[in-house]
Structure 1
Amino acid sequence: MSAPRDPACPRHVGLHHVGLIGFGAIGRALVATLGADPAYRLTVLRRGDGVLPAGVGAVDTLGALIATRPALVVEAAGQGAVAQYGPTLLEAGISLVVASTGALADDGLLRRLTLAAAASGARLVVPAGAIGGLDYLAAIAGVADARVRYVSRKPPAAWSKELSALGHDPAALASEVVLFEGSAAEAAARYPRNLNAGLTVALAVGPALSGVSVVADPSVTSNTHEIAVESPAGSAAMRFTNRPSPDNPKTSALTALSLAAAVRRHFDPLVI
């Protein structure tokens, strides 16, 4: 665990205004993390009248959020929110961190977002989310003959509906069941709420991604991501075992921490 941030430290002087779209499991965890840091001021675009922590602002329209002029906005409301709000935010010159990276499987939307960012000078930021090693993956993306495979393994409880539809009893599953094999774009479209990591890998490595597998596995107790790499530059095997979010077993608790890290990198003068 990192040490508490010292607001007197020169790296964190000032108040950074961050907008947040969505206040579900990820949004609440992100607010709990950044809201405890006096360097950040938060404004949430939300639906409904749920109670927000003290000191956190709330708006109910995108126009109202833009009017507050946040330096950065984090999307944590699902793939539909990326299409609904992303282009307008980027056109307004406001950088956007996208939690629902599966939305970027839509080539037309990705092009709209990147063109809007390029025109305004804003940035479209894809966080690491539930995985790591994106620096390595990006480094070998252009290497000829590089091959990458991604496997998502989650406990049967995370796939109860899907397993039941296939005739399996999730509570009595004795061996792994492969729910999907194919491309990252197909996986993100089929499982829009929990295959964002596969799309993130695809964005990092491009054509080097040779396949994605989605597995319900009774031998794992945590959301597990496996990335295997073979290239002329070397080989790598990465395995990330994340505890599920207490509010949503299909989402890793690490996701909100990764979003917070992406926000901090946006403002920090030293980027690692």
Structure 2
Amino acid sequence: MVTLGLIGFGTIAREIVSAFPVDSVCWVALMREGTRRDLPANVSTVTQLDALIGPRPRAVVEAASQEAVAAYVPALLDAGIPTIIASIGAFADPILAARLTDASRNGGARLVLPSGALGGLDYLRAIAALPEARVRYTSRKPPAAWEVELATLGLSAEHDAVSLFEGTPAQAAKLYPKNLNAAFAVALAAGIDKVTVRVVADPKAAGNTHEIEVESTAGTASFRLVNAPSASNPKTSMLTALSLVAALGELLDREGLS
């Protein structure tokens, strides 16, 4: 059996585990002390980073938070363990981004940033070299996904769409660390200085919708993806876990481990 690691064991991690045959993978999940979960038979838990590194997992998937990226991923990469990051918004911190890049180089371990809930990133990487290129990313979700935020602001999106935020990718990553990783994936592909982020609660949204509008000397483009929300967490698209599973499978194939 192949040993693989997880940081966190919430909705996304559970969906990742369920995508692999029970008898082919032994999972080790790093969790906070005192956290209780009903775990599948092939998942064991540890509460210390050394206990995750010790079994030498072939790869680790971070599926917890930007804070978890900062706390654990540099050491995993330094130890030579390939790591896939779900919380791409962590790269909004340039110091942490440099630490991760250096650790990947020093440990000779791949650092994988999956596309998450998005498509069209190849196009964005292509126009990133054009200095005048401009990209607008809009996250449009049903009000249920932003229930707490709407209540905090004293707003209602029962009948009409409400704009909750418009600003830079770094501001978005700080304000919505668990919900706008897709926005920073766009920023990393196109260039942080080229991207504006908007967050909209929309009662007419059919699902978690990502809208990307691009203008440059190479032309114009627009991408619109409507993703079904996760059954367990309406703020997260079902596609997020599928993207991580695909990235993990590709990594194992490349390393000759599947």
TM over 0.5: yes
Equivalent runs, 1:1-272 vs 2, <5 Å: 15-34=1-20, 36=21, 39-47=24-32, 48-170=35-157, 173-207=158-192, 209-269=194-254
Displacement of 1:112 after TM fit?
0.8
TM-score (norm 1): 0.87
> Could you list the per-position Cα deviations for residues 51-77 of structure 1 after superposition, in whole angstroms to 9, with x for gaps in the alignment?
321222332211011001012110011
> Could you list the per-position Cα deviations for residues 214-271 of structure 1 after superposition, in whole angstroms to 9, with x for gaps in the alignment?
111111031100011222223221111111111111111111110001101112249x
CA gap of 1:141–1:16, structure 2 versus 1, over 3 A, is farther
Query: How far apart, CA to CA, are the structure 2 residues paired with 1:168 and 1:207?
Result: 30
| Identity level (%) | 54
AA of the residue aligned to 2:238: A
Displacement of 1:154 after TM fit?
0.6
Give 1:11's aligned residue.
none
Matched residue of 1:249: which SS?
coil
Residue pair 2:169, 2:196 contacting (<8 A) in 1 also: yes
Instruction: Give the stretch that moved more between structures: 69-78 or 133-142.
Output: 133-142
Give 1:12's aligned residue.
none
Residue pair 1:146, 1:208 contacting (<8 A) in 2 also: no
Query: How far apart, CA to CA, are the structure 1 residues paired with 2:223 and 2:199?
Result: 16
AA of the residue aligned to 2:186: V
TM-score (norm 2): 0.92
AA of the residue aligned to 2:135: V
Matched residue of 2:224: which SS?
strand
Matched residue of 2:235: which SS?
strand
Query: How far apart, CA to CA, are the structure 2 residues paired with 1:201 and 1:98?
Result: 15
CA gap of 1:266–1:230, structure 2 versus 1, over 3 A, is same
AA of the residue aligned to 1:42: W
CA gap of 1:142–1:17, structure 2 versus 1, over 3 A, is farther
Displacement of 1:37 after TM fit?
6.7
Matched residue of 2:104: which SS?
helix
How many residues in Structure 1 have an aligned counterpart in Structure 2? 253
AA of the residue aligned to 1:224: T
Residue pair 2:169, 2:195 contacting (<8 A) in 1 also: no
Displacement of 1:176 after TM fit?
1.0
Matched residue of 1:251: which SS?
coil
Displacement of 1:210 after TM fit?
3.1
Give 1:5's aligned residue.
none
Query: How far apart, CA to CA, are the structure 2 residues paired with 1:133 and 1:127?
Result: 13
Query: How far apart, CA to CA, are the structure 2 residues paired with 1:178 and 1:169?
Result: 11
Residue pair 1:148, 1:208 contacting (<8 A) in 2 also: no
Query: How far apart, CA to CA, are the structure 2 residues paired with 1:49 and 1:176?
Result: 38
Query: How far apart, CA to CA, are the structure 2 residues paired with 1:195 and 1:111?
Result: 21
Matched residue of 1:80: which SS?
helix
CA gap of 1:54–1:37, structure 2 versus 1, over 3 A, is closer
Displacement of 1:207 after TM fit?
4.2
